[in-house]
Amino acid sequence: MEKADLSLPKISEKTNAECEFCDRDFVVMMVTPENSDGDPLEAVKRAFVSHDKTDGKSVAPITALPVFVLPEKRLSVRQAVFCSSESIPVENSVGRVAASPAVACPPAVPVVISGEIINESTVEIMKYYGTEYVRVVAE
């Protein structure tokens, strides 16, 4: 499913199942016995089965995750974090040094960490997850 197709806030209103976070591949929900009178997982199941994009069927991802190529380290994390930095569009960041990690929802695992050189692979992965800007060390 495309990120824009996940209308989970609307699903939450209909089924009383709250979504904490979602992206193209994962959905994080906090489930406790206090969430509903019955089985709390039934509300989650109803939320997905009733979603207009699924028609009660499984939904396969539209695209495969880009291949990850380990970025090269240029600076220590400390050096990168304390350097002057600027925010630039992800597509213009190849070859630049990351100043801070770009994550959708902490404590997520960052694609690139401070001090690493952003490569084409990391750009594709950041774009895949909807990251539009990245903070890089100023030149």
Residue 114 lies in a domain: yes
Residue 68 lies in a domain: no
Same domain, 44 and 84: no
Residue 102 lies in a domain: yes
Residue 66 lies in a domain: no
| Residue 96: per-residue pLDDT | 98
**136 beta partners:** 86, 98
Same domain, 84 and 39: no
Same domain, 44 and 94: no
Q: b vs e for 36-53, b when ≥16 Cβ sit within 10 Å of the residue's Cβ? A: beeebeebbebbbeebee
Q: What CATH number has the domain bearing residue 84?
A: 3.90.100.10
Question: Which residues have CB under 8 Å from 107's CB, separation 6+?
Answer: none
Residue 25 lies in a domain: yes
| Residue 21: per-residue pLDDT | 74
Same domain, 43 and 86: no
| Residue 23: per-residue pLDDT | 73
Task: Specify whether the CB–CB gap between 19 and 27 falls below 8 A.
Answer: yes
| Residue 26: per-residue pLDDT | 74
Q: 14 lies in which domain range?
A: 3-49
Own/partner long-range contacts of 58-64 (Cβ < 8 Å, ≥24 apart): 59/1, 61/1, 61/24, 61/25, 62/1, 62/2, 63/128
Percent of the chain with pLDDT over 90: 41
| Residue 50: per-residue pLDDT | 58
Ordered alpha helix ranges (H), the chain: 8-15, 40-49, 77-82, 120-128
| Residue 15: per-residue pLDDT | 59
Residue 89 lies in a domain: yes
Residue 62 lies in a domain: no
Residue 82 lies in a domain: yes
Counted domains in the chain: 2
Task: Specify whether the CB–CB gap between 61 and 24 falls below 8 A.
Answer: yes
Same domain, 40 and 81: no
Domain end (from 49, 64, 85): 49
Same domain, 42 and 81: no
| Residue 113: per-residue pLDDT | 95
Chain segment 20-38, per-residue pLDDT in tens: 777 777 777 777 666 566 6
- Which segments in the chain show pLDDT lower than 50? 1-6
